[in-house]
Amino acid sequence: MGVLDFLKDVGANILGIGSESKDIEQLLKQELGDRIDDLKIDFTNGVVTIYGSCNTQAIKEKAVLLAGNIKGVEKVNDEYLSAPPADEITEYYTVQPGDTLSKIASRLYGNAGKYPAIFEANLEVIKNPNLIYPGQILRIVKPLASQAPSETYTVKSGDTLSKIAKQFYGDARKYSIIFEANRDILKDPNIIHPGQKLLIPKING
């Protein structure tokens, strides 16, 4: 990615005078946990340089967005932040005045109902799918054509998409992946029935 530009005067107002590097490092550790080894931050004249090793390309991209979506940050350099090869194609979108995740999904995916896919791709960056702001930069994920195929799961009594996501992915919040893969038979992610057969996309990490 190299250097990504951000709007300097928008974003979370968390930087203290003289403690900028420490504040950004603390934010990344808080949101991404131990998924970046040997994390180090340098902040000079509005430019954040991130050092370390990420466990996935997605974590690298989220680290850049977390650092960049801070008031006072103008650029983020990830040249020294390593990660394994990506298993998906990522584009970046800058939120415009009046935008909602549904509007962005309609514009980029042709379907407003696909907004959970954007929220899922930005979980650490967006805390509430209804709260985004102009100038914020978001990840827009497009799976590679070579992505592993899906497997089939038969819904059991008491199942929810969150429970199924927890079973297959280890993370209940990834329910939207299953919902998006089954939009031809599911109209509401909260309504599934025993006996339904769902496609469960195989994902990495």
User: For 137-153, how does the pLDDT look when each residue is reduced to its tens digit (9 = 90+)?
Assistant: 999 987 654 345 568 89
Residues 127-136, mean pLDDT to the nearest whole number: 93
**In the numeric block, which tokens belong to residue 192?**
């599934």
Q: Kindly state the percentage of the chain with pLDDT values over 70.
A: 94
What confidence score (pLDDT) does residue 143 get?
A: 60
pLDDT at 90: 84
Q: What percentage of the chain exceeds 90 in pLDDT?
A: 59
pLDDT reading at 116 higher than 60: yes
Supply the pLDDT for residue 147: 47
Q: Which fold has domain 150-201?
A: Membrane-bound Lytic Murein Transglycosylase D; Chain A (3.10.350)
Same fold, 88-143 and 150-201: yes
The per-residue pLDDT for 204 is 58
- Burial grade of 117 (CB within 10 A; 0-12, 13-18, 19 or more): buried
**Domain 3-82: assigned CATH number:** 3.30.1340
Per-residue pLDDT of 37-82, as tens digits, reads: 999 999 999 999 999 999 998 999 999 999 999 999 999 999 999 9
Taking domain 88-143, whether its CATH number is 3.30.360.10 is answered by: no
According to the model, what pLDDT value does residue 111 have? 83
Greater pLDDT, 186 or 42? 42
Contact of 49 with 80, CB cutoff 8 Å = yes
pLDDT at 1: 60
109 falls in which pLDDT band (50, 70, 90)?
confident
3-class SS letters over the chain: CCEEECCCCCCECCCCCCCHHHHHHHHHHHHHCCCEEEEEEEEECCEEEEEEEECCHHHHHHHHHHHHCECCCCEEEEEEEECCCCCEEEEEEECCCCCCHHHHHHHHHCCHHHHHHHHHHCCCCCCCCCCCCCCCEEEEEEECCCCCCEEEEECCCCCCHHHHHHHHHCCHHHHHHHHHHCCCCCCCCCCCCCCCEEEEECCCC
- For the chain, the domains span 3-82, 88-143, 150-201
